[in-house]
Amino acid sequence: MERIVREVGVLPMFENSIRGFSVEEHVDPSVWFSDQPGPWEWKGPVIASVGCAYGKFFEGKAAFVRRDVYARLANFRRDGYDFDARFDDGLASFREKDLYDLIALRAPALSRDLKAEGGYGKGGKKGFETLLTGLMMKGYVLTEDFVYDKDRNGKPYGWGVAVISTPERVFGEEIRAEMYKESPEESHEALVGLISAAMDDPDRDGIERFLKKRA
């Protein structure tokens, strides 16, 4: 997984519009749910080792993206806007701004803590996961790491809890200059070329669906 992220620049976790381009399609199903560490547990170590971005970036599904590739992806998805400018132009909702502002203020923060502090959940505001995925798809938020609860013997257990942050927090403010050094259209074509180069028989339509922006 680390090698592919380093060499290709993008590695989706799950099946998507590009056939054969995912961890899911190349790992024995029995490995996902076993007593030994598998893809679920490898996510954090891959992020740390490669220094990449992770999040629901493509078709609302999770993927690893190398830092330089993420800069282009965020530029394409942001379409030249930082979040405040997007909101000022009416391209982001009040609900999106509410959550983005909380993340920007608290990052890095556990997703469950953001959910609680933001008042989401039973009896409160709805749509936390949908809003979070939308912010990831638009290039403003990512997952920095995963942490695990521990039992009384100090042994990790359960599902990893996502640590949510912003690309500026994870990669430094200088990534803004990398994002906006070319037009969104140039970034898009570069992404198409990068993914096509990794395919034996590139499917342009599949790649376009994979890269498609989310409303």
pLDDT tens track for 184-198: 999 999 999 999 999
pLDDT higher than threshold 90 for residue 92 = yes
pLDDT beyond 80 at 138: yes
Q: At what angle do helices 67-78 and 184-197 cross, to 10 degrees?
A: 140
Distances (CA, A) of 95 to 17, 86, 179: 29, 13, 25
The Cα 137–Cα 124 span in angstroms is 24
- The amino acid at residue 33 is F
Which sign, positive or negative, has the C-alpha torsion 40, 214, 65, 83? negative
Q: Which two tokens stand for residue 172?
A: 């430094």
Q: What is the pTM of this model?
A: 0.93
Residue 199 main-chain phi, psi, to 5 deg: -100, 140
Q: Is the dihedral of CA 103, 108, 111, 113 positive or negative?
A: negative
pLDDT at 215: 54
Give the model's pLDDT for residue 21.
Answer: 96
* Whole-number average pLDDT of the chain: 94
Look at residue 118 in the predicted model and tell me its pLDDT.
97
Q: Quote the pLDDT of residue 155.
A: 79
Q: How far is CA 31 from CA 35, 36, 38, 39, in A?
A: 9, 8, 6, 8
Distance CA 186, CA 211 (A): 14
Helix (H, G, I), strand (E, B) or coil at 113: helix
- 157 confidence band (pLDDT: 50, 70, 90): confident
DSSP state of 120: B
Name the DSSP letter for residue 125. B
